[in-house]
Amino acid sequence: MSVLVNDEWKIIQKGFSKERNRFFESLMSSGNGRMGLRGNHEEDYSGDTLKGTYIAGVYYPDKTKVGWWKVGYPEYFAKVLNAVDFIGIRVIIDGETVDLAKCNFHSYMRELDMKESVLRRSFVLVGRDGASYEISSERFISYSDPDLALIRYSVRSVSKDAKVTFIPFLNGDVYNEDANYGEKFWEYVSSRSSDETACVTMRTKKTEFTVSSAFAWKLSGSLESMRAITDRNGEWVGIEINSSIKKNEEITLEKYVSVVSDRYYERNELETLATSKAVQAKESGYEALFQAHKCKWADIWSMGDIVIDGDVPAQQGIRFNIYHLNCTYSGDDPRLNIGPKGFTGEKYGGSTYWDTEAYCLYFFLGTRTSEIAKNLLVYRYNHLEKAKENAAKLGVKGALYPMVTMNGEECHNEWEITFEEIHRNAAITYAIKAYSDYTQDLSYLVTKGIDVLVETSRFWVSRATYNPRKDVYMILGVTGPNEYENNVNNNWYTNRMCKWNLEYTCECLSMMKDRYPEEYKKAVDRLSLTEEDIETFKEVSSKIYLPEDREKGLFYQQDGFMDKELKPVSELTEEDLPLYKKWSWDRILRSCYIKQADVLQGLWFLNDYYDLKVKTVNFEFYEPMTVHESSLSPCIHSILAAEIGKRDKAYELYLRTARLDLDDYNKDTDQGLHITSMAGTWMSIVYGFGGMRIRDGKLNLAPFKPKAWKSYSFNIVFRDRFIKIIVGEEETSILLQKGESISIVVYGQQVELKTAEEFKLRQN
């Protein structure tokens, strides 16, 4: 039996069960933005496991596999690759190889300390002759040097003297479980090993990413002999280290691993570089590198922690989310992005979905420096040419960003999503506004963002269909965010966001003309922008058709939605749910059931355009029909519920997102974690319970406290300031911890925040 223990800072697994191994491996994943690992065992494990070592941006274009090819389908689906296994340490004690699928053991514990980002394991091994050994391991992926990972592995002999052999190794002979044609994605380049270091270099097929991994080692204990060993035609290299321990003695092996790729370094220097980095790491020593790593994490937590008093599972849940977002994206490389599974599993392939702009950006804006968030925008700017090619491929002008991508090319291949879920363009442009409003840094907008705005606008006007009978523009044949309806006409969300996108483009162009004439002129030349273009943007935005009942303030999800049989989810039985597993696709499509926020997603983005009444009408209409079968769904509902005063509902929906993986809500945590929806969890607290908004250039807050908590506090980074918000029983305190005085709005009231001064207000 294995159980997950509630703890404020740690994810603790007590006891081991083979059946739940994958689940815990996912939970115990960690990373540093450049690489990441599932919580696999270092020593051999022949039981069920999903081996996972992932290197950011290193992917394989796996040839598309579909039943019926459609023109416009991408040739490949980019797979996140399981890369060289560098944590491996074979352990042999008195001739018995340690393998928890075969050996006798007890007192198993696996523990991820999120504060320091370190994974620890321990268990007591009982040898064939009944002798006991206490085994423990510790490892971290350095946040201070993104190319390093360090492991410490100890064996203490409890009952007798024993021979211990460690074989730290690197294994490049690895596979993905998710491979369309069962292919191996890597090919061998070179390897070498000596008594001191080993190195293996592998290259991906087709994409030719070259990755070298090396290690150096240190043993504290008596060393008897050692020898370099090679296997699997050189793809596996290790060093056999033989030693012996006396009864009650402990021996520790330290493995200093480096992983470098030609994404950052010269290809022909990788092997030498990897080896020298590993040797240097050994010279710096485990403790010094661990200290540097811990300092980085201390910074991250000081900026972005959320403290919940009086609810340990909730506390653990939110920290788990904050932790994994930072493991996935460190923001120093605009070529990287945030995959829905991050470095925790293979599912979902590609690294970038609209999730980044619709959810993740807000988290990084609020908890890290603006440069980090900006890199997410630069990523899209750098893919603009590919987005134009993508639109052209579909016979449309302008730019259509891909639904799923690694390098800007679309790699998703379900026609109803690839060709029809075009709303993604609007989330990408909305992110430009969100960034610019939050930071007041317009440098991206006026030099790069404007190109994205103009080209997406060109897409919208080209994709819209003019209906002369009604003198309106319609958007036909789309899939909205609710993927439980396909090929519908006039999805309100898509049409509304298209309108907004066009208006915002025009607004930005006119602002630039006034305030940034030089940049404006450059943009006009670069984009060959004409007055006619602008007029068309205005014409289409003013005449875009919106299926709405203006009197009631109810927005119809799409033209045919009201013709459906409208029944709440509460009328479904347990046997029906989850729909995607129990119902035929046809039945789902005909039903009124909604996978995730759709109209409500629009009311969240365009929050300031609609009053509470409209939000309430639509929430009360749509939420009861929503099955939340996307992990991205509950958070948006939670924020809106909080805004319209449905606080208990907000909390109920928050709980669905906060511990989604820890409590295995969707029964799929074994495949990896839901990284992008973790940002939604953070948003549920900060935007939902905390009521944060940016209005008229100012930070607005209106926090309330969920009944179940005694108090909570969150930190936000806002325009070079660190602001702490503490929400108590009746009072809210706001402290400007760092940065210059600033005027903000709390509960609708203007407040001057002075540096290091605490401001207290009674809650509404």
Query: Cα-atom radius of gyration of the chain, to the nearest Å?
Result: 27
In the complex, the smallest distance separating the C-beta of residue 316 from ligand BGC, rounded to whole angstroms, is: 23
CA distances to 378, 518, 606 from 696, in Å: 25, 26, 14
Looking at beta carbons only, is 207 or 352 nearer to ligand BGC? 352
Interatomic CA distance for residues 657 and 659, integer angstroms: 6
Rounded least distance, CB 159 to ligand BGC, Å: 51
Give 416 or 503: the residue with its C-beta nearer to ligand BGC.
416
Question: Which of 236, 251, 260 lies closest to 166 in space, CA to CA?
Answer: 251
Maximum Cα–Cα distance across the chain:
92
295 vs 145, 289, 322, 558, CA distance in Å? 12, 10, 17, 51
Positive or negative: CA dihedral 296, 302, 303, 305: positive
Tokens of 454: 């103009």
Q: How far is the CB of 355 from ligand BGC (least distance, A)?
A: 5
629: annotated active-site residue: no
Q: CB–CB of 306/712 below 8 Å?
A: yes
The DSSP secondary-structure symbol of 81 reads: P
Query: How many beta carbons lie within 10 A of that of residue 267, not counting itself?
Result: 15
Among 421, 483, 485, 629, the one annotated catalytic: 483
Distance of alpha carbon 160 from the chain centroid: 48
Q: For 445-462, what is the HEC assignment?
A: HHHHHHHHHHHHHHHHHH
Contact 638, 657 (CB under 8 A): yes
| Adjacent-strand bridge partners of 732 | 727, 761
Min dist CB 66 to ligand BGC, Å, is: 18
Nearest partner of 680 among 713, 623, 633, 723, judged by Cα: 633
Mode of pairing for the β-strands spanning 59-63 and 465-467: unpaired
Q: Whole-number minimum distance, CB 483 to ligand BGC, in Å? A: 5
For the chain, give the number of residues: 764
Judged by CB, which is closer to ligand BGC: 455, or 483?
Answer: 483
Question: Phi and psi of 280, rounded to 5°?
Answer: -60, -40
CB of 460 to ligand BGC, least distance (A): 20
Residue 351 CB, shortest distance to ligand BGC, in Å, is 11
Q: Which is nearer to ligand BGC, 39 or 342 (CB)?
A: 342
Cβ proximity to ligand BGC: between 23 and 354 the closer is 354
Nearer to ligand BGC, 404 or 727 (CB): 404
Nearer to ligand BGC, 320 or 353 (CB): 353
Contact positions toward ligand BGC, by CB under 6 A? 340, 353-355, 481, 483, 595-596, 630, 632, 676
Instruction: Kindly list the strands in the beta sheet with 749-753, ordered across the sheet, starting from the edge strand earlier in the chain.
Output: 693-695, 698-701, 742-746, 749-753
Question: What residues are annotated to the active site?
Answer: 483
